[in-house]
């Protein structure tokens, strides 16, 4: 297990380096000048040079990447002052340390992700199980068509509609907003309830369909028939045998989804004006803010890579045929 | 007259499919006595497996219509409630499947798969059940059962897996064991071992066995009685000596002629049964075998396409064919015997 972890973490580090390098070079592959963008409309050449130097983009791209990489482990000196490790640089736009900006935004994204994941796992897997158990019967048809409708929903539309109906008209829910969990757990919960529900609609639909098809497949397996042939009650056959086999593909997708959500639920954050990682990434792109862009890319990539490792470890736990080595 | 241990009467199994109703089993009757082995032979789709899944009530009731009687030890099974069947399965009636790799759960240790069956039906404690699992593994000839009880199916060879399967099936000392092609997926050398094991365990426990196979060699080795099935019906029935020694039905002749033999000379060609098995949605009228039968003319004009021949006599060596007994003897002696 520890050898597996060590090997996979090393691999993850390599992947993250490749991703950050690609981001770096792609940024400069497009002819652009972040310095001119930051300097403003009226910008004398001397000032532009100075801005360039302050940003660190007057150096060759390779060297820039090298400085950026070293900065993560050893810290870095800027014209504005010292940036301690782990240093992801300063924002081109407002000179805020990138690391602080991400740490500041991450709780919002994490809260959004965890809440939504709980909702879509619970409802998605639950509905998928019921549909599989009632194959071809009304419950299955209702679940299947509901998931088809759910999968074609648009977050911004449903989000605005839900807020208007549930908050403005019926006044059943709190207006969506982020409050810190540690400060006020009740407000944290009620403020995020609508974003959670709306964000999880599409996921719930997908997990319902995935769970159903995975369970249907397992239920026709020989070993499930054996379980029934040896007199296991149908509940046991369903949960302890079929579900055990059906879990694999669902966990794989869940790992990817969780990673992607932690990289920022851009549309959901925009719809409910939540200040998470997703909002940071939009600003980074719009403002040609390279250090910020690298920062959010790194967060998203790290989340996906780490959850991949977790998924692989979980696989070995579920299926004894899989070996971690 | 004693009541047979398992008695199947006029069993009919129909499946609803998108293409129409599949008549998988159509009016099948047979008996199995304790301590004996009945071999059920036939090609794929002849209804062998379907019949036996029906005995265990393993068909999805939403798509399956079962009629007739299945009486096990005085209990009627076709109308029994689901819970009663669940208590019976694995306990009084156990089943062994063809491919032990896919039929054992890959997610649970073999010890657990054996002991959970035992606990389910006896209410034994974890410890007792584990001890029983080890004992069963020893009985079926798994070396070092104490250390292997926690291993998973993929850590065993094919033959060992089938032994595990047998251990699991026999853990509650069932009165009836249904073995569905138990040796088909195994090496020839292992096949013989598994058949010997079944025979040996049967001698110890007195279990009745239904052995489903398409291999007449297996039947000759392991069974006392044979039932030959075709298109969901029994076409011939009798003791192994009767059916394999003096077969009467043209389909049985076909099966025997298509089987390679060690003792016969290489010059004797194998004769396959011509044609293909019939569709079970549109079963041929009359004798379902008539489109593939070479002896219709001798039976009499239009006899075989008219009414369906019944299995006769009702006890002993019987067959469902319109040829007269004299004809059957003559054809067998003149044309069939030399091929065997």
How sure is the predictor about B302, in pLDDT bands with cuts at 50, 70 and 90? Answer: confident
Task: Judge whether B191 lies within some domain.
Answer: no
Task: Judge whether B54 lies within some domain.
Answer: no
- Contact, A116 vs A258, CB < 8 A? no
How sure is the predictor about A55, in pLDDT bands with cuts at 50, 70 and 90? Answer: confident
pLDDT at B175: 92
How sure is the predictor about B32, in pLDDT bands with cuts at 50, 70 and 90? Answer: very high
Considering only alpha carbons, which residue of chain A is nearest residue B57? A229
Q: Which of A138, A224, A225, A230 to mutate to test the interface with B (most CBs of B within 10 A)?
A: A230
* Per-residue pLDDT tens digits for A237-286: 999 999 999 999 999 999 999 999 998 889 999 999 999 999 999 999 98
Structural domain tally of chain B? 2
A223, A229, A231: residue with CB nearest B106? A223
Task: Judge whether B334 lies within some domain.
Answer: yes
Mean of the per-residue pLDDT values of chain B? 88
Choose the final residue of a domain: B121, B147, B168: B168
Choose the final residue of a domain: B139, B168, B197: B168
Tokens for B193?
Answer: 């071992």
B56 touching A (Cβ < 8 Å): yes
Distance from CA of A19 to the nearest CA of B (A): 37
pLDDT at B310: 85
A317 touching B (Cβ < 8 Å): no
Distance from CA of A236 to the nearest CA of B (A): 11
Q: What CA–CA distance (Å, rounded) separates A125 from A117?
A: 11
Task: Judge whether B76 lies within some domain.
Answer: no
Are A232 and B168 in contact (CB < 8 Å)?
no
How many angstroms separate the Cα of B296 from the Cα of each of A85, A311, B306, B336? 94, 65, 12, 16
Q: What CA–CA distance (Å, rounded) separates B232 from B43?
A: 11
**Residues in chain B closer than 8 A to A244 (CB atoms):** 105, 107
Task: Judge whether B310 lies within some domain.
Answer: yes
CA atoms within 13 A on the CB side of B218: 28
pLDDT at B263: 65
* Domain A101-318, classified CATH 1.10.3720.10, yes or no: yes
For residue B115, give its domain range: 105-168
Are A227 and B62 in contact (CB < 8 Å)?
no
Task: Judge whether B220 lies within some domain.
Answer: no
How sure is the predictor about B208, in pLDDT bands with cuts at 50, 70 and 90? Answer: very high
Task: Judge whether B59 lies within some domain.
Answer: no
pLDDT at A44: 86
B207 touching A (Cβ < 8 Å): no
pLDDT at B296: 83
Task: Judge whether B18 lies within some domain.
Answer: no
pLDDT at B217: 86
Q: What CA–CA distance (Å, rounded) separates A102 from A23?
A: 18
**Residues in chain A closer than 8 A to B89 (CB atoms):** 228-231
pLDDT above 60 for B1:
no
Which helix (H) or strand (E) segment holds residue B112: the answer is helix B110-122
The ranges assigned to domains in chain A are 2-83, 101-318
* Per-residue pLDDT tens digits for B57-98: 888 878 889 999 999 988 899 888 988 999 999 999 999 998
Q: What ipTM describes this predicted complex? A: 0.87
The torsion defined by the Cα of A255, A258, A264 and A267, in degrees rounded to 10, comes to: 110
């Amino acid at each position: 297990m520890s050898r597996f972890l060590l090997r996979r973490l090393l691999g993850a580090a390599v992947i993250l380096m490749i991703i950050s390098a690609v981001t770096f070079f792609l940024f400069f592959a497009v002819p652009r000048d972040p310095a001119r963008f930051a300097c403003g409309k009226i910008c004398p050449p001397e000032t532009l040079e100075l801005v360039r130097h302050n940003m660190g983009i007057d150096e060759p791209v390779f060297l820039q990447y090298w400085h950026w990489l070293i900065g993560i482990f050893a810290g870095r000196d800027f014209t504005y002052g010292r940036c301690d490790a782990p240093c992801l640089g300063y924002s081109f736009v407002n000179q805020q340390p990138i690391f602080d900006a991400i740490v500041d935004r991450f709780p919002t994204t994490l809260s959004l992700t965890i809440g939504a994941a709980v909702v879509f796992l619970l409802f998605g897997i639950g509905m998928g199980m019921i549909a599989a158990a009632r194959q071809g019967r009304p419950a299955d048809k209702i679940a299947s068509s509901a998931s088809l409708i759910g999968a074609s929903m648009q977050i911004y539309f449903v989000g605005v509609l839900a807020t208007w109906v549930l908050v403005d008209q019926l006044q059943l829910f709190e207006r969506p907003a982020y409050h810190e969990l540690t400060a006020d757990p009740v407000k944290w919960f009620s403020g995020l309830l609508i974003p959670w529900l709306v964000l999880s609609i599409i996921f719930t639909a997908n997990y319902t369909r995935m769970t159903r098809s995975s369970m249907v497949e397992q239920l026709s397996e020989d070993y499930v028939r054996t379980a029934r042939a040896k007199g296991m009650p149908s509940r046991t056959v369903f949960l302890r045998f079929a579900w055990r086999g059906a879990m694999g593909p669902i966990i794989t997708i869940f790992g990817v989804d969780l990673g992607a959500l932690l990289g920022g639920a851009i549309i959901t954050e925009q719809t409910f004006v939540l200040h998470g990682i997703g909002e940071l990434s939009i600003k980074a792109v719009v403002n040609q803010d390279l250090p910020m862009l690298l920062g959010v890319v790194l967060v998203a990539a790290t989340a996906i890579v780490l959850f991949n490792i977790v998924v692989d470890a979980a696989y070995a736990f579920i299926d004894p045929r899989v070996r971690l080595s | 007259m004693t009541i047979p241990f398992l008695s199947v009467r006029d069993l009919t199994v129909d499946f609803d499919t998108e293409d129409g109703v599949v008549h998988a089993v159509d009016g099948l009757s047979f008996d199995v006595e304790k301590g004996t082995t009945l071999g059920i032979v036939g090609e794929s789709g002849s209804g062998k497996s379907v019949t036996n899944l029906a005995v265990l009530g393993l068909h999805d009731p939403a798509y399956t219509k079962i009629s007739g009687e299945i009486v096990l030890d005085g209990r009627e099974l076709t109308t029994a409630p689901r819970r009663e069947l669940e208590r019976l399965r694995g306990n009084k009636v156990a089943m062994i499947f063809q491919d032990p790799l896919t039929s054992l759960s890959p997610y649970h240790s073999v010890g657990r798969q054996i002991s959970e069956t035992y606990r389910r039906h006896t209410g034994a404690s974890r410890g007792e059940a584990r001890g029983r699992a080890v004992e069963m593994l020893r009985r079926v000839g798994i070396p070092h059962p104490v250390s292997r009880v926690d291993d998973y199916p993929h850590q065993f060879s094919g033959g060992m897996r089938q032994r595990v399967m047998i251990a699991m099936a026999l853990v509650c000392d069932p009165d009836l064991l249904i073995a569905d092609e138990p040796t088909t997926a195994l090496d020839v050398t292992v096949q013989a071992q598994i058949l010997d094991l079944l025979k040996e365990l049967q001698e110890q426990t007195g279990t009745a066995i239904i052995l489903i196979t398409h291999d007449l060699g297996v039947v000759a080795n392991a069974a006392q009685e044979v039932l030959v099935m075709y298109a969901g019906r029994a076409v011939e029935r009798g003791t192994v000596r009767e059916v394999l020694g003096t077969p009467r039905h043209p389909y049985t002749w076909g099966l025997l002629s298509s089987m390679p033999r060690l003792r016969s000379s290489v010059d004797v060609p194998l004769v396959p049964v011509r044609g293909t098995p019939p569709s079970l949605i549109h079963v041929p009228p009359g004798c379902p075998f008539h489109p593939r039968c070479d002896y219709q003319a001798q039976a009499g004009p239009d006899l075989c396409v008219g009414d369906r021949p019944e299995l006769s006599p009702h006890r002993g060596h019987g067959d469902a064919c319109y040829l007269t007994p004299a004809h059957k003897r003559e054809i067998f002696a003149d044309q069939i015997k030399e091929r065997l």
